[in-house]
A and B are shown apart, each in its own frame.
Chain A
Amino acid sequence: MRYFYRILFCLFIVSFAGCSNKVEPTQSNIKPISSEKLSIALEDNNEDEDEFMDEFEEEMELEEISDPLSGYNRVMTNFNDGLFEYVLAPVARGYKFVVHKEVRTSVGNFFHNILYPIRLINNLLQGKVKNSSEETGRFIINTTVGIFGLFDPAKSYFELEPHNEDFGQTLGFYGVGAGPHIVLPFFGPSNLRDALSLYPDSLVNPVDYHKNRSYNLTNSYGESLFLTTYDKVNFVSLHDGEYEKLKKDAIDLYPFLRDIYEQYREAQIKE
């Protein structure tokens, strides 16, 4: 689910260059299209053009997304959106103001590193041996040289890229369909397969607290909830303003986020 926010935040880079939030564009940025140019564009709006469009029809065919819960999903999308706008984003902004970027990046690295068991197990379950060993290499290097995962020398010096996998992807890999789309409170867009997969992933997540487990990082449910929330605030602070920008492209927020999520997961599973 963490990765979904990553894509969400990155989707708005529909550009060759990069992003930041220095400029708010104004209407005057854009030259109005001259009507002369438009009439040229529309002149070839004849039968030929329509036939030509059929060529793309198959490619642009939309996958039907199962959505029997759309009523509930809409309500929950608004809830999450409000939560983000009025709670998470302001808190993250305050935190960003107080804490240096270098520190926040390291906090993000730390949480990423510690979630290694989830990535390892799911890479192994999918038979991705090379990725598993690279993940293990990353974990060893970053935990030692990278001081408990605060830094990522595995990537900067050894060019080892992370291989993010979760149980939802593992199920998808073996052909399990997404099932109906479900928007989860706090977590955001998901579907039946991915929502159920949160539990097995949580069992090997050191940050989550489980009774009768020998390697709990936290001592109670409260502590693990606190750490998980902190991780999220930290993440949002590193991507301030990006969700808001993405949202501007939505005509209707719920189907917009739903489609992005399902397309993104589909692509992840195929990788």
Chain B
Amino acid sequence: MKKIVLILISIFIIASDVYANEQNSLKKHFIDTIDKIIIVVKDTNLEKIKRNTKIIDILTPMFDFTLMGKLSLGKKWKQLNTVDRKRFVELYVERMKQSYSSKLDAYSDEKVEVTKIKQAKKNRIELITDLVQTDAKLKISYKFYKPKKAKKDKDTWLIYDVVISGVSILKTDKAQFREFLQTNTIEELMDQLAKK
């Protein structure tokens, strides 16, 4: 009996240690990525268009935009045929990148601090950060998951949702799409996305 307890305890300790390691390396990778972005943003010699492209290139391996697109459609996704699926993902990823770069503009001495790390499951980590601006703090949480099979050109841990002051980007999209699809077809939604 004692032995079993001992084994259980040691398994628990080892397991929690593995968790901690994973969390720390993810945190380090995340902060490194931000530092890379800040260097690009601060480089005033760079043309704006080139700068934005560069930043998107740095960010892309960390985000699973494709999964975000799928999840944003919810149950509807399963009803789509392959052609529609492909077109939708393509449009969604494009929109995400567009939206991102339009928001990426000048950097005004904001700092990112990781305040908390949560791991609800083995394959889920949430980094809770403060975006410290001159006049306010903004709580932004980045939700990562670990795919079973590592994806080509992608990190081990991938972001599938960003929550800003309690507002989830993914949920907001999902709610929008669901409401739009109540009165419109998927083709109309895709046309709408293409317009943007």
Q: Is A100 an interface residue (CB 8 A)?
A: no
Q: How large is the interface on A (under 10, 10 to 19, 20 to 34, 35 or more residues)?
A: 35 or more
Q: Is the CB of A263 within 8 A of B168?
A: yes
Q: List the A side residues contacting B105 at CB < 8 Å.
A: 18-23
Mask of B56-97 contacts with A, CB within 8 angstroms, 1/0:
100100000011001100100110001001100110011001
A25–B189 touching, CB < 8 Å: no
A207 CB to nearest chain B CB (Å): 20
Partner of B166 from the list A29, A42, A57, A263 (CB cut-off 8 Å) is: A263
A-B contact count (CB 8 A): 166
Say whether, besides A31-B53, A38-B89, A248 and B102 are in contact (CB < 8 Å).
yes
Q: A12, B171: Cβ atoms under 8 Å?
A: no
Chain B residues near A26 (CB, 8 Å)?
A: 49
| B7 part of interface (Cβ distance < 8 Å) | no
How near does chain B come to A197, taking the closest CB pair, in angstroms?
Answer: 18
- Given A14-B103, A17-B104, check contact A263 B110 (CB 8 Å): no
Determine whether A56 belongs to the interface, using a CB cutoff of 8 Å to chain B: yes
Contact of B131 among A13, A38, A45 (CB under 8 A): A13
Tell which of B34, B90, B98, B133 touches A16, judged by Cβ atoms closer than 8 Å.
B34
Residues A10 and B171 in contact, CB atoms below 8 Å apart: no
5 A-B pairs besides A14-B100, A14-B162, A37-B153 with CB distance below 8 A are: A17-B104, A19-B104, A28-B49, A248-B99, A259-B171
User: Which residues of A line the B interface, CB within 8 A?
Assistant: 6-7, 10-26, 28-31, 33, 37-38, 40-42, 44-45, 50, 52-53, 56-57, 60, 62, 105, 161, 245, 248-252, 255-256, 259-260, 263-264, 266-268, 270
**Nearest 8 CB-CB pairings of A with B:** A267-B166, A20-B106, A18-B110, A17-B107, A25-B102, A255-B179, A259-B175, A23-B48
